[in-house]
Structure 1
Amino acid sequence: MPDNAVVIGRVGALAVALGVGAAIAGAAGAAAADTSESGVGGTQSESRPERESPTSGEADARSVPDAPASGDSDPVDAKPGAASSSEARTGADAAVHTRTSSARLPRTLAVRTADRGELSEARDELDDEPDPVPSPADVAALTALGAARREVGSAPSNAAAAVPEMTDRTTTQTTPVAAASPLGTPQQLAAEHLAQRIVGSLPVQLARLFLKAGFQSAAQRQFDRVGGPDPENLRRLDAAVDAYAMGAAFQQQLLNSAEPSVVMQVAPPHTWYGQSVGASRILYDNPDTIYRFMGVNGASSYVIRGTFADLDNLPADTSFSVLTGLTGNTAAVLTKDQLVIDPDGSFTITADATPAGGRSNHLQLTADTTIIATRNTLSDWAHQTPMSLEITRVGGPPNSLFSQLGGFAIPGIGPAVVRNPALTTLVSLIPPLPYVPTLLRGTVAAVIMLLGVQREETYMSVATTDPGTGERIDPNVLKDPARNAEFLATQLQSAGYFQLADDEALVITVRPGGAGYFVVPVTDDWTVTEDYWNVQTSLNNAQAVADDADGTTYTLVLSPTDPGVANWVSTGGLNQGTISIRFQDLDPEAASLPSVDARLVRLEDLPAQLPPGTRWVTADDRAAQLVGRKAAYDLRFAPYPQP
């Protein structure tokens, strides 16, 4: 742990720098405010000091991922066909080479499945208090990593496992699947390891108490028409608070945008590589979506590289969103249809303060940019896989205490520093701490949690409140889709909440219109999904049976009790909860927009309320349906089946 004098000295120096910088910014305030984003970006890239160039050996050690084991292939640096890449790709690679040759920048993040050395090294980089000797959990993790590496072999496609998959919703077959998930990178595993340490810190545990009281108070207000949260939802409150705390622990790690990494969060609990990771899902998480986040700032420039392993089975939707501030408003987005992918499945995205200017795969960062969020939405769990992904910072001010403490993400201060080159240089003079103590990380995570009380109520109100009048709406009402969440700029949502007896059902009719994808998921009062891998608490358009051959209409039955319908969306034991139906892959040329309606019926009256040709299933059919669902879900964390 660093000496107190070091911590106090550097924080004090940063405070002085900010004070001097405030005076500078005040003197030149009008000029700074009028500077365009593109002009600022160009000026900053020239005037901000970079780190000193490392020696040749140091550059090799820090900027090149560990060499893969014999037969392994790097999906980015050693991909076939690199010599025939497009001009935009060549230009991006040339820019990376030019900048990294003159500045000591963070190492490139590997996207291969982790092995023993990579996990150990990544943990050493992220852990603020590394264990002096391996703990039993570490030993188990390393043993599992080695076994997985031997079991997986060279390329995922060479090691296939057979899992049952539902076809025609009633029969099973075996399908070859990839043996290793691209999500299990060394950086992801190390981030999960550190997040668990952060959530155990005293500040986070204290913030938990405040968050729990705030969530419960918000639910009492938002669900007042049904008497507030019912006993089952109150039972799930602790789990929701724990998930929010885990999410905050991941977000804290993203704050240093000078050393970016790709972190999967808003994720279900999972066990792999010898470690069990708690849930971090919040705010209407989509069971079909893999969420990954990268901390960035408008004073720096970045290169994002990724690879789709199977171009014949791309995710139903993929997006890269530039988010700003603490609320996550969308400033720019790169959609599936805009993303240029090379013939080998790889792609390169550049991100900085300059406009695209005709360049493909470019994201413009604003002064208040804090995060780039990526989403892979998988409608066919058995065949669609998430992309591999890595990020490298290729330009900008050197890492500093200001960046390490999340200064670029502080409202008002961060944007002011980005807009003013002199202020950027000033705050960059104080170097970062050798490592960030767990207590300090926990304190920052606790602050993020406290901000979550208002945010959670805002998202509850999406389901319970009419956006036009501000009045509470009745349960079991779903309106036509709209854009009602600030960070879902490329999606439409139809939100509401349900109140159902055991012998009641909500019959939902979905007309996708110009949407290539939709999903009907169940969330509790705290806007969190439950066990959607073992229970059918969600259905998307690839999993459901359409009412007609053209797929223009789908009828789904949401109920606590299995009605024997193929298109059953289980409430997962809830009689009260929330719904946020998502529509993605929207066709801007489509003549019709998606629409939704719902009606409350008794189960005994259900057959008369369903369209002709509705598919019914037996108990054996349902069991087979759930077996296929779970096996397909397990591919996200392959080669580790989940509980």
Structure 2
Amino acid sequence: MANPIATPDQFAAEADVRAMRSDPRSDAVRNQIAKYFEIGYGSRLPEEMRPMLGDLADEFLTNWFFKSAASDSQHPRLVRDFMPAHEWHGTSVPGARTGGDNPDNCYRLAGIEHGTHYRLTGRAVGRKPANISFTLANNFGTSQTVAILEDHQLAWKDDGTFVIEIDDLPKGERENHLLTAPGNKFLFIRDSMMDWGVETPFELTIERLTPAKALPIDRDEMFARATRHALRDVFQYFWFQNMVSSIAVNTIAPARPLASSGVGMSTQGTSSGHFHLGPDDAAILTWDPAGAGYAAVELTDWLYRSLNYQNIQSSLTAAQAHIDDDGLVRTVIARRDPGVWNWLDTGGYANVLMILRWQAMQPEGRPIFASVLMTTLDDLRGQLPPQTRWISEREREEQLAGRRAAYQRRIT
């Protein structure tokens, strides 16, 4: 099976990103981004996070380099973004995690402009992801969704493909359509995978159907776009992080839909939490998958970047987790191994943030729900139900080995 991400456009975009990162002008931009975050967080910044500000700024700017490499709306190409640093096809790809990036997602972008007509063609490769969303975003931060279409809404052709038309005209008789609006910047695609070992992102191609209005942009223009928008978007991403870190320590916000928030994936339900854990502390997070097509939880560092999920179990989907007899998932957030299957590893950090997500929610399904109970590792057995799945050190090694192998499919 060919990897649907391993395309000439992806490799070309990665080369563009490496070139922009090596541009001598990028150092000053990274330093400015780090300074903005340092000033903004002030004394609230945990000391364990202070040495990570440089890494945050580096991945933040790299994320915008990837977006800029995908931003040419007159010569669109699909580009994967938000990945941790990795090696594939003989090259190094720098990390680009930021803004509560989801470990289960393959994020792809392509430049879109209001007034231009596009065709996106796709097909499933093996088992499809649990949920796929196609959104039009009005900013480089990809937070302003103006239109959305999900895989369960698609009309498929007899040959196993689908076509989505993207333009500024009414849908009419067309089956799959996204209506652009003034200010559109990107088509933003999320392939959300519940089972990393078997689910594969869609194979996708995009083409412009109307005459080009300009020549392809060069790397100087990419660099200018990336640095300009990265410096502007620092403040919004600082606000995103503060929405979570302002939650009272060792508590979570009630589960709710995002439809009324005006940011993020509008059809998604979420709950977030903020934790400060001692070496022996444990948080029992209980949540209901609620029959959603996709449901998962992840931890991020205090700076709102995913942890090294390719190596540690800092996230769990409903498919990866043990579900108790009552239909609920009980995960244990702790700095050291509590001996339960559903451990969320903080990577040794005392300060972490948490995000629960529900997608493809059933209209008549159970309401989304989450709660948290603070306890200690010594008291866990008295707090967890009898059907809890406890595991040995060997079983943990096997669990993590399976996780690493499943992640490796993405970069093979």
The interval holding the TM-score normalised by the smaller chain is over 0.9
Following TM superposition, by how much is the alpha carbon of 1:342 offset from its aligned partner in structure 2, in angstroms? 3.2
Which position in structure 2 is the counterpart of 1:632? 406
Structure-1 residue corresponding to 2:49? 233
Determine the C-alpha separation between the residues in 2 that align with 1:547 and 1:343: 40
Which among 11, 32, 43 is matched to residue 189 of structure 1?
11
Q: Which structure has the larger Rg over C-alpha atoms?
A: 1
User: Given the alignment of the two structures, is residue 546 of structure 1 paired with residue 323 of structure 2, yes or no?
Assistant: yes
Question: Gapped runs of 5+ residues in structure 2?
Answer: none
**Cα distance in 2 for residues equivalent to 1:596 and 1:232:** 28
Cα distance, 1:442 vs. partner?
A: 2.5
What is the CA–CA distance in structure 2 between the aligned matches of 1:373 and 1:318, rounded to whole Å?
11
Q: Distance in 2 between matches of 1:322 and 1:350?
A: 12
Written as runs of structure 1 = structure 2, the 5 A alignment for 1:156-555 is 156=1, 180-220=2-42, 228-310=44-126, 313-326=127-140, 328-396=143-211, 398-400=212-214, 432=215, 436-438=218-220, 440-465=221-246, 473-482=247-256, 483=258, 484=261, 486-548=263-325, 552-555=327-330
Counterpart Cα distance in 1 of 2:14 and 2:52: 23
Q: For the aligned residues, what is the CA RMSD?
A: 1.7
TM-score (normalised: structure 2): 0.95
The answer to whether the 8 A contact 2:282-2:375 is kept is yes
Indicate how the Cα distance of structure 1 residues 240 and 349 shifts in structure 2: closer, same or farther if over 3 A, else same. same
Give the conservation status (yes or no) of the 8 Å contact 2:245–2:302.
no
Q: Confirm or deny: 8 A CA contact 2:16 2:219 kept in the other structure.
A: no
Q: Partners in 1 of 2:346 and 2:160 — Cα distance?
A: 38
How many angstroms does 1:456 deviate by? 1.8
Q: CA deviation at 1:480?
A: 2.0
When the two structures are superposed, what TM-score results if normalisation uses the length of structure 1? 0.61
Q: Corresponding residue for 2:363? A: 588
Contact 1:493/1:581 (<8 A) preserved: yes
Q: Distance in 1 between matches of 2:400 and 2:26?
A: 37
Q: Structure 2: how far apart are the matches of 1:513 and 1:380? A: 17
CA-to-aligned-CA distance 1:111-149 (integer Å, 9 cap, x gap): xxxxxxxxxxxxxxxxxxxxxxxxxxxxxxxxxxxxxxx
Matched residue type, 2:156:
I
The alignment covers a number of residue pairs equal to 408
187 and 326 in structure 1: CA distance in 2 versus 1, 3 angstrom threshold: closer
Partner Cα distance (1:342, 1:621) in 2? 44
Partner Cα distance (1:492, 1:383) in 2? 25
The structure whose residues are more often helix, as a share, is 1
Separation in 2, partners of 1:523, 1:296 = 30
Identity value in percent: 31
Does the CA contact (< 8 Å) of 1:300 and 1:352 recur in 2? yes
SS at match of 1:236: helix
Q: Following TM superposition, by how much is the alpha carbon of 1:497 offset from its aligned partner in structure 2, in angstroms?
A: 1.3
* Mapped partners of 1:303, 1:274: distance in 2: 32
Inter-CA distance 344–601: structure 2 relative to 1 (3 Å threshold): farther
Give runs of ≥4 in structure 1 deviating > 3 Å: 325-328, 342-345
Paired residues of 2:192 and 2:294 also in contact (CA < 8 A): no
Q: Equivalents in 2 of 1:259, 1:606: separation in Å? A: 56
Match of 1:574 in 2: 349
Higher relative strand content: 2
Q: Secondary structure at the match of 2:231?
A: helix
Distance in 1 separating the partners of 2:311 and 2:276? 23
2:316 aligned partner, one-letter code: L
Structure 1 portions without partners, runs of 5+: 1-155, 157-179, 221-226, 401-431, 466-472, 639-643
Amino acid at match of 1:399: K
Q: Report the Cα offset of residue 514 of structure 1.
A: 4.3
